[in-house]
Amino acid sequence: MKIGYIRVSTQEQNTIRQEVLMAQLGVDQVYIDKASGKNTSRPELQNLLAFVRKGDTVIVESISRFARNTRDLLDLVERLTAKGVEFVSQKEAIDTTTPTGKFMLTIFGAVAELERAYILQRQREGIAVAKAQGKYSGRKPITNPDFDRVVRQWQAGECTASEAWKTLGMSKATFYRKLKK
């Protein structure tokens, strides 16, 4: 069975280009994540890994859609290999059924990781320049006019901490960080 994996980094990005490719390749089933590739904690990737069986082939448009660092890439491919599943990256023409394909996978994985590191470095440099020019002050703090009222309710035992941060539209970490201030 041919199984496709598609990933874009954000909900706003479009998957159509990758979906068309999967249709052209005759993929039987497709898993789509709209999440960062910085790690492997992606729901559809995990579903794919749980679903694949011996003899299946996982196809991706490019390595960067599957993993953003060499360690994750090699770990994912090793997990597939252990299940008897082949891995094919269309853009880089990598097929892990051959020794050359495995070697090229390692090289391209390292290149993808380097590319990601360069992107982050350029982003940090750009932010530093913008800060020096007074054009960037960082992320806006999360504020809620009801914070003090909801905290008083929580402290009085009228609601749980979980209910409090959900009411305020905050994460657990943000809620407790704001409590410390």
CB count in 10 Å sphere of residue 98: 10
Whether the CB-CB separation of 179 and 170 falls below 8 Å is answered with no
Write the CB contacts of 132 (distance below 8 Å, at least 6 apart in sequence).
Answer: none
The span from the CA of 14 to the CA of 7, in Å, is: 9
The span from the CA of 86 to the CA of 103, in Å, is: 15
**Catalytic site positions:** 9
- Is 74 exposed, middle or buried, given 0-12, 13-18 or 19+ CB atoms closer than 10 A? middle
